[in-house]
Structure 1
């Protein structure tokens, strides 16, 4: 049995509609080494927060996009807490449901050596996302993971037929066969944003740029993310190619950085910014995210972006040559950010704040 949200669906068109599994993420950051049997490792940072599809939903909402989410919540205390957090982030949960006698899936993420390892326990939803969503709401964009069964779902294709731009990504192939047939769904997509490893594996290309060019033959817009080497994008309609470097930051936790990049790129695309500006904005947002603990609650909001620009502008005024160069690349930022955001969102502490949260 499931319980639908009592909230009424938004009467206006959403900017972004999402679906996917929800997890409670428990994130340990700053581990000196990987944990080993028979030993104890202390972490310098820790957070508890909604994860999975919540990473993407929070990122899009904090960047000013009206966001709807279809997911399933357990009826345990973790599920209720995640529901309240996402509702407080102004995410429309009218297509989500609480499922009786189902506990919330949990992922423990351990960040060390610039990467992370994860352990997860959970259960699949008792119904498909097509059954959960039935009719997708009007939306300007949909972001979908093309892994396995998700690629065969009907709802996102219907949303695309209704006018939504479909932004797609794809995860690691556990079989490591990298069958290019898994990308056949790209014919129904507007943009594809894999990472370099995925893009090169699926295309058998020897470089991220070559992989992007091969993928551009299948989808109108391709972005291949390359970690510390930035990202490369190709607009197959105009023929434009663009590469931007990653923002140079001290990364604390990479959890959710890819989701933040995707959310920021979608925001710039919906606003019809030039391709380079979209890439730089996405690089900035993901760079800000990795400087905080946790995934979803590390996503930057409009307030964080204003703060960053003011700090950069101040450093430029003090004659910092690095700040001056960076400021030139981001001189578009004050013009595209809301001057006085109605909802000044900033990153939150990623943990249970009160005993009553549990």
Structure 2
């Protein structure tokens, strides 16, 4: 058995996966149809894939590193610059590959849902090779629905060295809900599926029953329920909590789940109560869907502060704002001590770095 090191980890969160160049379209007058052209009123470009999680975590102040492949084309140059120089994400465990091009995803947002068109290829160097000697980190977040991730042992070695493993499973398009997913949770600290996934994997017919079953597998079981909010059990603290969503106008849902997960990691590492973690994660995921573009829609602490000030100001005339201020009163004690740098949003072009303050 590996003996955990007593040294302070150099990272808060270690991530591995594919970084895509994302092009996101919103504001469709009607769904695309063969033989027609559709003009939309919204578009944004942003780093995608594992970058959604990385940017969300970094903007919340977590020391974050990503292991991923990058090509040597102009898209890759831009992705590398945005992630390393703008978002301050550690890319020292990533690799550039000569002669390889960047995977691209086009996301189409309409009818409160999304469709994707993607082109890409495997990288010459695997994540397992990039993380043959993984750094010490306080947490990792992995998709155990990916068979290659289940085969990798880098994240289990991180766990053996003291890291908390936060797991998701992703959507099973065939809805078979392979029981091996639950077996892969051994050694994980948390599992964060949505309601359909949770009930499918546990063979239960309610969120409460699914939560009970999952809490026997991991210390922290969280089930997201879309517009119905989120419920969780933290067996390590004996807490159980459910919170509603934060009402906001929906522009683009890309990356909302990643922002939620990053906020849960932050709250857990900070030692917050379960209810506070869920409330904060619900707020962060709500703020991200009011912007276009996945990763670059992720809120920073400045966005949280702006939202809080807006709600406080609105309490004069609006009961809903008074309810939200009461619900999020804990923010008042956090915001004064938090750095709130400006962040750049997704734009309809590959913006110059100088556009950002």
- Provide TM-score, normalisation by structure 2: 0.93
> How far apart are residue 59 of structure 1 and its match?
0.2
| Matches of 1:19 and 1:127, distance apart in 2 | 12
Q: Does the Cα contact within 8 Å between 2:19 and 2:103 map onto a contact in 1?
A: yes
Select the residue among 47, 52, 60 that pairs with 1:50. Answer: 47
Q: Does 1:252 align with 2:248?
A: no
Indicate the SS of the match to 2:193: coil
Instruction: Indicate the residue corresponding to 1:73 in structure 2.
Output: 70
1:110-259 equivalences under 5 Å are 110-146=108-144, 147-259=146-258
1:204-242 residue CA offsets vs partner (Å, 9 max, x unmatched): 211222211111111110111111111010112344221
| Matches of 1:157 and 1:12, distance apart in 2 | 16
1:162-182 residue CA offsets vs partner (Å, 9 max, x unmatched): 111100101112332211112
Indicate the SS of the match to 2:184: helix
> How far apart are residue 347 of structure 1 and its match?
4.8
1:242-274 residue CA offsets vs partner (Å, 9 max, x unmatched): 110011111110000000000011101100000
Q: Does the Cα contact within 8 Å between 1:17 and 1:67 map onto a contact in 2?
A: yes
Instruction: Indicate the residue corresponding to 1:84 in structure 2.
Output: 81
| Matches of 1:30 and 1:117, distance apart in 2 | 13
RMSD (CA atoms): 1.7
Q: Does the Cα contact within 8 Å between 1:304 and 1:347 map onto a contact in 2?
A: no
Q: Give structure 1 regions of 4+ aligned residues with deviation exceeding 3 angstroms.
A: 354-357
| Matches of 1:338 and 1:264, distance apart in 2 | 18
Q: Does the Cα contact within 8 Å between 2:69 and 2:125 map onto a contact in 1?
A: no
Q: Does the Cα contact within 8 Å between 1:302 and 1:346 map onto a contact in 2?
A: no
Instruction: Indicate the residue corresponding to 1:36 in structure 2.
Output: 33
| Matches of 1:225 and 1:160, distance apart in 2 | 25
Q: Does 1:97 align with 2:95?
A: yes
Indicate the SS of the match to 1:219: coil
| Matches of 1:45 and 1:34, distance apart in 2 | 14
1:300-344 residue CA offsets vs partner (Å, 9 max, x unmatched): 00111111111111112x242111111000000121235351x51
1:107-132 residue CA offsets vs partner (Å, 9 max, x unmatched): 00000111111011100122321111
Indicate the SS of the match to 1:312: helix
Indicate the SS of the match to 1:282: helix
| Matches of 2:112 and 2:325, distance apart in 1 | 27
Q: Does the Cα contact within 8 Å between 2:105 and 2:119 map onto a contact in 1?
A: yes
Change (3 A) 1:309 1:40: same
Instruction: Indicate the residue corresponding to 1:27 in structure 2.
Output: 24
Indicate the SS of the match to 2:277: helix
- Provide TM-score, normalisation by structure 1: 0.93
Change (3 A) 1:297 1:219: same
Q: Does the Cα contact within 8 Å between 1:62 and 1:345 map onto a contact in 2?
A: no
**Unaligned 5+ residue runs, structure 1?**
1-10
Aligned positions, number:
345
1:25-64 residue CA offsets vs partner (Å, 9 max, x unmatched): 0000111322110111221100111100000000000001
| Matches of 1:149 and 1:60, distance apart in 2 | 24
